[in-house]
Chains A and B, each alone.
Chain A
Amino acid sequence: MARRSATYKVRGPLTELTLARIRELIREPEALFWVFVFPILLTAILGLAFRSRPPEALPVAVVEGPLADARLAALAKEPDLKPDTLTEEEARQALARGRVVLVVSGGETPMYSYDPTQPESRAARLAVDAALQRAAGRVDAFSAGSAQVTEPGSRYVDFLVPGLLGMNLMGTGMWGIGFSLVVARNGNLLKRLVAAPVRKSHLLGAQLTSRLIFLIPEAGALLLFAWVALGVPFRGSLILLAAVSLLGALSFSGLGLLAAARPRTIEGVSGVMNLVMVPMWIFSGIFFSTERFPAKIQPFVQALPLTALNDALRGVMLQGTGLVALLPELAVLAVWGIISFLLALKFFRWQ
């Protein structure tokens, strides 16, 4: 018992509350996975699935018949085409199932069957016709040179990364704040904290502060991976990108606070969270452009905070958009953040 007891450093309440929140998070392996690893994994997988491939040869079918061999030989010379000889029935089915994009049939005058709404079918129509015309004796007036240009920033993965960053900022902002508050309320910890001489502004401030501290590695890891491994371009100001991310994180923290303002149970808050987040997963242009939705629902789509965040992130990253042009999106984010924060404070259940 002669052992000198340890001494403990005690910092200010806001610092200690923030530290407590950060410790909770970094000691939770599942949380670390969802915050850091999952978005990178998702980016990598989707980037792989939708990677830009060199243009593939178009599969076309030649229907069996007396002219089939000659036609096959003529088409086989074309690097852009992959011809095959099939019976009429086989060819019809192959076209219907998309295994070939065009079928050549007919006697002396060839007959092309294809779906004109498919760009690949229309391309095949031009290439097949040119090849058969040439084989039949047509002479090209000239042979044009070609330069192939692939623009970085126009790939699917480039579109995807800002969307995933926005989705992640929404998820961690809402869950990071909402989950821990409801757990604390459910276990009487929130009540115990309120019973102590601690300012409510410190209790909520620590939630926001720890959220913003986590934003740095969270967004940083995803963007670094996108830049190093996938070559996603950063055309705009990095400071502006950081500011947009910060505003997005704050805005969704406000929504997280609002979602967690009343529920006493995890089930309760999960329901509210899903109600808020699922529409944005669908409508806010994470995986595909919001322009695909009809004009009628565009006002709704454009008013969603995640739409604004994704548009702003894409603008900065892919187009190098400046601050002034982003003001409408930033305003949408700010309004959502401020209104939800004020409502949350008004309705917050402290016990």
Chain B
Amino acid sequence: MPNTDSALRCKDLVKRYGDTVAVAGLDLDVRRGECLGMLGPNGAGKTTTVEIFEGLRVPDSGLVEVLGEPWHGDGLALRARLGIQLQETKFSDKMRVSEVVVLFRSFYPRGLDVADVLALVGLEEKAAAHVRTLSGGQKQRLSLACALIGDPEVLFLDEPTTGLDPQSRHQTWEIVEGLKARGRTVLLTTHYMEEAARLCDRVSVVDYGKVIALGTPRELIASLGAEHVIEFAIGEQPQAAGLHSLLSALPSVEGVAHDGVHWRLTVREVHRAVPALLAALAERGAEPMHLATHHATLEDVFMSLTGRRLRDG
């Protein structure tokens, strides 16, 4: 099979739950061997899209292809080629770690060695431990082991690090990076922009059930037109519209966003923009508070596209 094939493809995907439209005409094309991240706030439709790809949900309309095939029947042959990590899976507390992995290994006609996978996710020391005794991060890695045991061609990771402490998060990232190095196709959902930036070859920014931007993390950030962001708030609000055009005209400023409290300027050069900004505000008699600058991130991309933050939607 040629390398140019899509591993996953969907077009005009729509899924409603009652009156709520979870996925509203979503297009996605995941190439073989790439790690594609779906970045978006909670409720953006990421999980629904992934579960449609996983054959767990049936879309109301639209085309879905997994490894070049549509879902039909029980899809057992197709399932054997996929590795799936759901957002949260509670394995039976009374089972031992190795028993859970052996159970999942028994489902796959071909796959990896149980001991190898336990080593891969760093659980070999815990092989004989009961699931109940595992930490949150270890449980998440057990779930990853079950996703990997069938040696899948495509791996689905739905928010693999949500709720984990930073150390467990980094451990998970290292495992995923190891998988990428072996050329696995990965579809990952996350609302952590650091995670998307670190792991994904391409990122699709998803909001209200649609892809609103797609590209490499670098391309997306470059689309802001500037590499730096200045954030600040003003105590008593002067007329916002007037301020908006004033700020846009400042030297080196490429974009201005305002969420009611905070102002965000995307700028090419901080050292040119900040003095001009302070001078302009002083002229209006406004005192900037919480003034901060940082390198532009995917979060800024999301904010410039939607006017909202990723985390608190």
Contact = CB atoms under 8 A, between A and B. Distances in A.
Interface of A: 5-13, 15-17, 19-20, 23-24, 27-28, 183-184, 186-189, 191-192, 194-200, 351
User: What are the nearest 10 A-B pairs in CB distance?
Assistant: A187-B90, A5-B115, A197-B79, A16-B106, A27-B94, A197-B80, A8-B114, A198-B107, A192-B89, A195-B84
Contacts of B84: 192, 195-196
Among A10, A187, A188, which residue has the most Cβ atoms of chain B within 10 A? A10
Contacts of B109: 197
Given A7-B114, A24-B92, 4 more contacts: A20-B95, A189-B92, A196-B104, A197-B109
A244 B92 CA distance: 32
Contact of B86 (A7, A17, A191): A191
B279 interface: no
Measured as residues with beta carbon below 8 angstroms from the partner, the interface class of chain B is: 35 or more
A198 B107 CA distance: 5
Contacts of A24: 92, 94-95
B107 A188 contact: no
A16 B94 contact: no
Nearest to A15: B106
Contacts of A8: 98, 101-102, 105, 114-115
A6 B115 contact: yes
A194 B56 contact: yes
Contacts of A199: 74, 76
A213 B113 CA distance: 30
Interface in B92-130: 92, 94-95, 98-99, 101-109, 113-116, 118-119, 124, 127, 130
Given A5-B119, A6-B127, A197-B76, A12 B90 contact: no
22 contacts: A5-B115, A5-B124, A6-B98, A9-B102, A10-B102, A12-B106, A16-B102, A16-B103, A20-B92, A23-B94, A24-B92, A24-B94, A24-B95, A28-B94, A187-B88, A188-B86, A191-B56, A195-B55, A196-B104, A197-B77, A197-B109, A198-B76
Contacts of B41: none
B54 interface: yes
A201 to B, nearest CB: 10
A20 B93 CA distance: 11
A13 B104 CA distance: 8
Given A6-B127, A24-B92, A195 B56 contact: yes
A2 to B, nearest CB: 13
Nearest to B101: A8
B281 to A, nearest CB: 51
Interface of B: 54-56, 74, 76-77, 79-80, 82, 84, 86-92, 94-95, 98-99, 101-109, 113-116, 118-119, 124, 127, 130, 143, 146, 150
B108 A197 contact: yes
Contacts of B143: 192
Contacts of B103: 16-17, 20
A91 B208 CA distance: 88
Contacts of B86: 188, 191-192, 195
Given A28-B94, A187-B89, A189-B91, A196 B115 contact: no
Nearest to A6: B115
Contacts of B114: 7-8, 10
Nearest to A202: B107
Nearest to B143: A192
Contact of A196 (B88, B99, B107): B107
Nearest to A14: B106
Contacts of A20: 92, 95, 99, 103
Nearest to B77: A197
Nearest to B128: A6
Contacts of B105: 8, 10
Nearest to B90: A187
Contacts of B79: 195-197
Nearest to A200: B74
Contacts of A200: 74
A197 B107 contact: yes
Contacts of A27: 94, 130
Contact of A351 (B56, B76, B91, B106): B56
A76 to B, nearest CB: 66
Contacts of A6: 98, 115, 127
A194 B106 CA distance: 14
